[in-house]
Amino acid sequence: MESVFTPPIGKISHISGKCISLNGNDIDTDRIIPARFLKCVNFDSLGESVFEDDRKTLKGRHPFDLEENKDATILVVNSNFGCGSSREHAPQALMRWGIKAIIGESFADIFYSNCIAIGIPCFTLSKKLIQEIQNYIDNKFLFLEIDMKNSLAKTKDLILNLEIKESSRKMFLSGEWDATSTLLENENLIENKFNQLPYIKFNSHLT
């Protein structure tokens, strides 16, 4: 039976699961989800198309096709992951495939914000540590337990100090990463700001 996707909701304080490693710098969002899959009015079917072209090229040898990775939830990547297009379809596709957290050397800005906004924490580690982890995963299974409160990832015999932006960490712990309701709490302040801005009247046709 096919599992039904349930998006994350509320506080995110613990994530545990098997790691999947994807090697390469500057992996862009066109590769994560090619543009032809953006012809949709919802995100539902994106999971199966994640890395579609890279997977076809590798004919079953892509990490996202390997049987042993089928139930992985923590993606380990290199530098500038998610560069390029702002398409949220990219993290949505990863999430719908099964990814719940990403650990990498570095992330592109818009991709990072999109991940936060949909509840995928992105952590960074040094290049050296990432490579050690990736080498390990090449040969053995790695299960991590991520503790958001203390920014730690634990295995049986190893503790990693993960880095994450403090504002992101707090948002995951409070549930505020799902930002709309928090933003709406300041409705009066928003109205005030609108009335204060010097240029609202400049676009007279818009009022």
Residue choice 59, 61, 140, 205 for contact with another protein (CB under 8 A): 205
Nearest CB to another protein, comparing residues 155 and 192: 192
Told to check if 182 binds another protein by CB under 8 A, we report: yes
Q: Please tell me the distance from the alpha carbon of residue 202 to that of residue 150, in angstroms, as a whole number.
A: 48
Size of the site for another protein (CB under 8 A): 69
Residue choice 99, 103, 171, 195 for contact with another protein (CB under 8 A): 171
Max intra-chain CA distance, the chain? 65
Residue choice 85, 103, 120, 162 for contact with another protein (CB under 8 A): 85
Q: CA angle, 10 as apex, 174 and 33 as ends, to 5°?
A: 110
Told to check if 128 binds another protein by CB under 8 A, we report: no
> Shortest distance, CB of residue 139 to another protein, whole angstroms?
20
Extract the tokens encoding 40. 């949709």
> Shortest distance, CB of residue 28 to another protein, whole angstroms?
5
Instruction: Give residues with Cβ within 8 angstroms of 82, minimum separation 6.
Output: 27, 28, 29, 32, 90, 91, 107, 108, 110, 111, 112, 114, 115
Q: Please tell me the distance from the alpha carbon of residue 162 to that of residue 167, in angstroms, as a whole number.
A: 15
Told to check if 174 binds another protein by CB under 8 A, we report: yes
Told to check if 206 binds another protein by CB under 8 A, we report: yes
- How large is the angle between the packed helices 109-118 and 89-97, nearest 10 degrees? 50
Nearest residue to 54 (alpha-carbon basis) of 87, 30, 77? 30
Interface contacts to another protein, rule CB under 8 A: 24-26, 28, 30-31, 34-36, 38-43, 53-54, 56-57, 78-80, 83-89, 91, 106-110, 113-114, 117-118, 165-168, 170-171, 174, 176, 179-180, 182-184, 186-187, 189-190, 193-194, 197-207
